[in-house]
Amino acid sequence: MGGKILLANIDVPGIRGYDVYRSNGGYTSVEKALREMTQAQVTAEVNKSGLRGRGGAGFPTGLKWSFLDRKSDKPRYLVCNADESEPGTFKDRYLMHHLPHRLIEGLIISSFALGVKTCYIYIRGEFKYLVGILEKAIKEAHLHGFLGERILGTDFSLNIYVHPGAGAYICGEETALLESLEGKRGNPRIKPPFPAFKGLYGCPTVVNNVETLAAVGPIISMGGEAYAMIGKGKSTGTKLISACGNIKNPGVYEIEMGLPVEDFIYSPEYCGGIANDKYLKAVIPGGSSVPILPADLILSTAKGEKRLMTYESLADGDFESGTMLGSGGFIVYDEDACIVRNTWNLTRFYRHESCGQCSPCREGTGWMEKVLYRIEHRQGKMSDIDLLVRVAKNIEGNTICPLGDAAAWPVASAIRHFRVEFEEHVLHPAAMLEKERHLKLKY
Amino acid sequence: MLKVTIDNISIEVEEGTTILNAARMIGGKVVPPAMCYYSKLKGSGGKCRTCLVKVSHSSAKDPRPMGKLVASCSTPVQDGMVVQNLTSPEVIETRKGIVEFLLLNHPLDCPVCDQAGECDLQDLSFGFGMEETATEEERREFPMIDIGEKIKLHMNRCILCYRCVYTADQLTEKRLHGVLYRGDVSEIGTFIQHAVTNDFSGNMIDVCPVGALTDKTFRFKSRVWFLNPMNAHRDCPACSGKVTAWMFGNEIYRITGRKDRYGELEEFICNECRFEKKDINDWVIEGPRHIRRQSVISANHYEEMKKQSLIDPIAGTMESLT
Ligand SMILES: Cc1cc2nc3c(=O)[nH]c(=O)nc-3n(C[C@H](O)[C@H](O)[C@H](O)COP(=O)(O)O)c2cc1C
Ligand code: SF4
Ligand code: SF4
Ligand code: FES
């Protein structure tokens, strides 16, 4: 597989500091962009690279940038979404922790391309330890003339501020994030208008994920075309995958897009196979919001093709037999995992994190949680299973923001692929309980 | 002007008009129900999702249907747009699901609720033939509190439409209450037991679509359908002084703002008019107010009762009854 791009030099001692980062080729992309390129050329390179948003939706970054309202005479903002709170996703924090300057570098170039003078990093409240690391990196960049007034002697000036949230998953949704950044309650806004026209303080704003923005530096260094050569089809470049669950080597891996899922799970270079050499039961490949797939469908598509780590291949078969790459939070379950318990656990999360603004999500998440709690705790009825399907369907697509969908998909997909297990819980509650007790003793 | 077709009826509207407002211009059955949108409150809408409709043609330029149902109260019309409200089984099915969600944690204590008879949720659920929900789960419960000297908050009944929040934002100097917490435990509250005191705070009662906010000077005094709504006015230094006086004989039981056919206030009124002026001599009674409601109560000959019990031309002329 190709070399590392985002995580290049991560093993070099002291790479977190400016000096070591700089002597390993750091900030050369900023010099290249600011000295040799125009705003439009930078954007063109990002376009050519085929880079897609790494925050979950996979929206082409260059296209998103092109929507920014450039006619407005208001200030423009770039906001880096570092709220990373999706269960199973822990890639951004890894990147910021070890390579804070890679993010700062990307922010400078992106701000230059977008004509932005003020950039915010909205960071999850629980990542307090990262605030200091990022602020130190920002200070160092200031000191060496990469931030502040007239960067590298050009007309371009930029300041970056770190803003910690107060610990709400919903503030990762871009418009809730903007509300929160403005000091308000983090309720998602009703779109349109989109942030590209009316974002932060009503000004044109671009919101991008940490990993997306960190990729901009390497793209400028190597050129958009070279970046697009990496990967497969429309899934270009590399992707950080945070792997967890019942695997031998949990951790954050940078993979070239197009890697077969099977290799990712079993290769010693990555997950290293299932812990204790058990069988693979199911995978949630893109963070807790995307549909769960059973072993056979995650390894190959319904058509019998090898499933690859790309946006397209994982989505093959739509929701019938496919899922999504999402944010790259790869959660693996072995043969002993209880799907009902897991699904219940996920609904607890969404119930807790719903902002409560729109009725289907506010009421539906709580309802699903209560029903799943009953099924898991020996009080389920057969009709509850169809009830869950119905509630999930009534939420999906009918809410203000995608959190409603994110809460509905895991439930719908778990029942779609593991219905028998739900029925078992209803029919033989005592046996299921016994099985779990037995497992708990073992671990 | 933009042309939009809703349930096969076309109308031309100005740019920026929402689907809901276009439907209200047509009137009648094509108007989707709205539990959170309030035309006089900027920023309201988009939350309850009862107004979802299907857009089967996005515009003349782009004839594709929109992928999801959209909230008609916050979706602007495009030229050539074709919208389905009652003609779409999908919309009706989804709306039924939404009503179910709204009723999920609602206590359905209509028999002891002051709002009964003029409650948007009651009307809506009645319209769908849903007087109860499928749920056997426990409903969330909150203690009842006074959020102001004259206002009672019965949070169990709240559907979190945010109307009262926008009212306080837009009518008062400083909002003293808001939504606390998240998700299905979020609640309306005044943080740390503050009392809502502002002169116009009483309007929160009128904008509340359910019985969550009620008038303490009227609580349990009478069912609304036993009262005669009369247009009345007085010279008020603070507001327009145009109100509806709810009367029994010569006695004023309560004062509210004047509501239009969509349950929205025509004008906001001040607390003095609402809470303090309960003497008939405070008011010039103009005549009976025609209440056009598709409500549980109208189904029960509300209108007729009103006509029969009309008495006493106390002051001014009596308008015709229709
Ligand atoms: C409930 C919810 C939570 C989200 N959380 C995050 C997050 O923590 N980090 C993130 O980058 N994007 C998150 N997103 C996606 C953002 O709304 C937005 O699409 C993203 O930041 C855009 O960046 P990208 O184009 O670079 O992916 C979330 C979306 C939703 C609906
Ligand atoms: S879908 Fe859920 S999180 Fe999103 S706006 Fe509605 S209630 Fe809030
Ligand atoms: S108290 Fe009434 S007006 Fe306020 S949010 Fe609840 S239902 Fe809406
Ligand atoms: S009236 Fe449109 S969403 Fe509530």
Is A4 part of any domain? no
- Domain CATH code at residue B74: 3.10.20.740
Contact between A331 and A264 under an 8 Å Cβ cutoff? The reply is no
Is A350 part of any domain? yes
- Domain CATH code at residue A91: 3.40.50.11540
Is B102 part of any domain? no
Closest chain B residue to A403, measured at CA: B183
Contact between B266 and B221 under an 8 Å Cβ cutoff? The reply is no
Q: What are A287-328's pLDDT values in tens digits?
A: 999 999 999 999 999 999 999 999 999 999 999 999 999 999
A188 to chain B, closest Cα gap in Å: 11
Q: Which letter, b or e, does each residue of B80-111 get, where b requires 16 or more Cβ atoms within 10 Å of its Cβ? A: bbbbbbeebeebeebbbbbbbbbbbbbebebe
Domain end marker among B197, B219, B241: B219
What total number of domains does chain A contain?
Answer: 3
Most informative mutation of B70, B73, B165 for ligand 4 (most atoms within 8 A of CB): B73
* B275 to A233, A251, A285, B203, B270: CA distances (angstroms): 69, 64, 59, 11, 9
pLDDT on residue A439? 66
Is A2 part of any domain? no
Q: Is B135's CB within 8 Å of A360's CB?
A: no
pTM passes above 0.80: yes
E strands of A50-168, at which residues? 77-82, 118-123, 159-164
Separation CA A169–CA A342 (nearest Å): 19
pLDDT on residue A150? 97
Separation CA B291–CA B293 (nearest Å): 6
Q: A410, A408, A384, A386: which is closest to A396 by C-alpha?
A: A408
Domain end marker among A287, A305, A334: A334
Whether residues B210 and B246 share a domain: the answer is: no
Whether residues A108 and A140 share a domain: the answer is: yes
Is A94 part of any domain? yes
Whether residues A97 and A207 share a domain: the answer is: yes
Q: What are B154-186's pLDDT values in tens digits?
A: 999 999 999 999 999 999 888 889 999 999 999
pLDDT on residue B292? 61
Ligand 3 centroid to Cα of residue B165, in Å, is 8
Whether residues A216 and A109 share a domain: the answer is: yes
Residue of B49, B68, B125 to mutate, interface with A, max A Cβ within 10 Å: B49
- Whether B181 has its CB under 8 Å from any CB of chain A: the answer is yes
Asked if pLDDT for residue B320 goes beyond 70, the answer is: no
Ligand 4 centroid to Cα of residue A361, in Å, is 14
* B217 to B110, B221, B253, B254, B270: CA distances (angstroms): 19, 8, 9, 7, 15
B314 to chain A, closest Cα gap in Å: 46
Q: What are A54-111's pLDDT values in tens digits?
A: 999 999 999 999 999 999 999 999 999 999 999 999 999 999 999 999 999 999 999 9
Asked if pLDDT for residue B236 goes beyond 90, the answer is: yes
pLDDT on residue A66? 96
Distance of CA B254 to the CA centre of its chain: 17
At A205, list the tokens. Answer: 């704003």
Whether residues B167 and B245 share a domain: the answer is: no
* A154 to A42, A146, A150, A158, B7: CA distances (angstroms): 16, 11, 5, 11, 59
Is B58 part of any domain? yes
pLDDT on residue B126? 86
Question: Within 13 A of B134's CA, how many CA atoms are on the CB side?
Answer: 17
**Per-chain mean pLDDT for chain B:** 88
Whether residues A255 and A306 share a domain: the answer is: yes
Whether residues A245 and A358 share a domain: the answer is: no
What total number of domains does chain B contain?
Answer: 3
Whether residues A382 and A318 share a domain: the answer is: no
Q: What are A214-232's pLDDT values in tens digits?
A: 999 999 999 999 999 999 9
Whether residues B227 and B314 share a domain: the answer is: yes
Give contacts of B186 with chain A, Cβ < 8 Å: 355-356, 362
Residue B319 confidence class, pLDDT cut points 50, 70, 90: very low
Please report how the helices A100-114 and A128-143 are oriented relative to each other, as an axis angle in degrees rounded to 10: 60
Whether residues B38 and B66 share a domain: the answer is: yes
Whether residues A190 and A254 share a domain: the answer is: no
- Whether A405 has its CB under 8 Å from any CB of chain B: the answer is no
Whether residues B165 and B194 share a domain: the answer is: yes
Residue recorded with tokens 């211009």: B25
Whether residues B61 and B14 share a domain: the answer is: yes
pLDDT on residue B300? 46
| Dihedrals phi, psi of B284, to nearest 5 degrees | -100, 115
Contact between A244 and A328 under an 8 Å Cβ cutoff? The reply is no
pLDDT on residue A441? 58
Is B109 part of any domain? no
Whether residues A74 and A155 share a domain: the answer is: yes
Interface A–B counts its CB contacts (< 8 A) at 95
**Using alpha carbons only, what angle is made at residue B310 by residues B307 and B316, rounded to the nearest 5 degrees?**
120
pLDDT on residue B35? 96
* Closest atom of ligand 2 to CA, residue A354: 3
Q: Is B184's CB within 8 Å of A351's CB?
A: yes
Ligand having the closest approach to the CA of A96: 1
Residue of A351, A359, A399 to mutate, interface with B, max B Cβ within 10 Å: A359
E strands of A179-237, at which residues? 205-209, 231-232, 235-236
Overall average pLDDT of the B53-57 stretch: 97
Asked if pLDDT for residue B118 goes beyond 70, the answer is: yes
Q: List residues near ligand 1 (CB under 6 A).
A: A 53-57, 59, 64, 81, 83-86, 169-170, 172-174, 207-209, 212, 401-403, 406
Amino acid occupying residue A305: E
- Domain CATH code at residue A392: 1.20.1440.230
Contact between A159 and A150 under an 8 Å Cβ cutoff? The reply is no
Whether residues A78 and A173 share a domain: the answer is: yes
Ligand 4 centroid to Cα of residue B37, in Å, is 5
- Whether B112 has its CB under 8 Å from any CB of chain A: the answer is no
pLDDT on residue B132? 66
pLDDT on residue B297? 54
Ligand 1 centroid to Cα of residue A56, in Å, is 6
Q: Is A357's CB within 8 Å of B160's CB?
A: yes
Is A138 part of any domain? yes
Q: Which domain holds residue A413?
A: 339-442
Domain end marker among A170, A195, A228: A228
Asked if pLDDT for residue B321 goes beyond 50, the answer is: no
Whether residues B237 and B317 share a domain: the answer is: yes
Whether residues B85 and B152 share a domain: the answer is: no
Is B124 part of any domain? no
- Domain CATH code at residue B154: 3.30.70.20
Q: Whose CA is nearest to atom 2 of ligand 3?
A: B208
Asked if pLDDT for residue B279 goes beyond 50, the answer is: yes
According to DSSP, the residues that pair with B71 across neighbouring strands are B52
Interface ipTM > 0.95? no
Q: Is the link from the previous residue into A192 a cis peptide, with omega within 30 of 0? A: yes
Q: Whose CA is nearest to atom 28 of ligand 1?
A: A173
- Whether B98 has its CB under 8 Å from any CB of chain A: the answer is yes
Give SS3 for B233. strand
Ligand 1 centroid to Cα of residue B226, in Å, is 54
- Whether B141 has its CB under 8 Å from any CB of chain A: the answer is no
Give contacts of A400 with chain B, Cβ < 8 Å: 46-47
Q: Whose CA is nearest to atom 8 of ligand 3?
A: B161
> How crowded is residue A182: how many other Cβ atoms within 10 Å of its Cβ?
11
Separation CA B144–CA B159 (nearest Å): 15
Domain end marker among B169, B192, B219: B219
Q: A110, A330, A141: which is closest to A212 by C-alpha?
A: A110
Residue B192 confidence class, pLDDT cut points 50, 70, 90: low
Q: Is A394's CB within 8 Å of B101's CB?
A: yes
Using CB atoms, which residue from B46, B69, B160 is nearest to A356? B160
Is A218 part of any domain? yes
* A13 to A48, A134, A143, A254, A310: CA distances (angstroms): 33, 18, 22, 19, 32
Domain end marker among A228, A251, A269: A228
Whether residues A139 and A280 share a domain: the answer is: no
**Using alpha carbons only, what angle is made at residue A322 by residues A318 and A327, rounded to the nearest 5 degrees?**
100
Is B21 part of any domain? yes
Whether residues B256 and B186 share a domain: the answer is: no
Whether residues A141 and A243 share a domain: the answer is: no
Residue of A171, A363, A371, A381 to mutate, interface with B, max B Cβ within 10 Å: A363
Please report how the helices A91-98 and A100-114 are oriented relative to each other, as an axis angle in degrees rounded to 10: 100
Overall average pLDDT of the B88-114 stretch: 94
Whether residues B210 and B225 share a domain: the answer is: no
pLDDT on residue A103? 98
- Residue A273's region, left for phi above 0, alpha for psi from -120 to 50, else beta, is left
Q: List residues near ligand 4 (CB under 6 A).
A: B 34-37, 45-51, 71, 73
Q: Is B179's CB within 8 Å of A356's CB?
A: yes
Q: B293, B265, B291: which is closest to B41 by C-alpha?
A: B265
pLDDT on residue B296? 56
Residues in chain A: 443
pLDDT on residue A69? 95
Separation CA B58–CA A312 (nearest Å): 27
Separation CA A309–CA A289 (nearest Å): 17
Q: B211, B243, B216, B221: which is closest to B230 by C-alpha?
A: B243
- Whether B187 has its CB under 8 Å from any CB of chain A: the answer is no
Closest chain A residue to B163, measured at CA: A357
Is A78 part of any domain? yes
Q: Is B181's CB within 8 Å of A356's CB?
A: yes
Closest chain B residue to A394, measured at CA: B97
Q: Is A357's CB within 8 Å of B69's CB?
A: no
Residue B304 confidence class, pLDDT cut points 50, 70, 90: very low
Q: Whose CA is nearest to atom 6 of ligand 2?
A: A358
Whether residues A345 and A314 share a domain: the answer is: no
- Whether A398 has its CB under 8 Å from any CB of chain B: the answer is yes
pLDDT on residue B302? 44
Q: Which domain holds residue B33?
A: 2-97
Question: Which residue numbers in chain A have pLDDT < 70?
Answer: 1-2, 438-443
Separation CA B264–CA B40 (nearest Å): 8
- For the sheet containing A205-209, what is the strand order? A159-164, A118-123, A77-82, A205-209
Residues in chain B: 322
Question: Which A residues 266-305 touch B at CB under 8 Å?
Answer: none
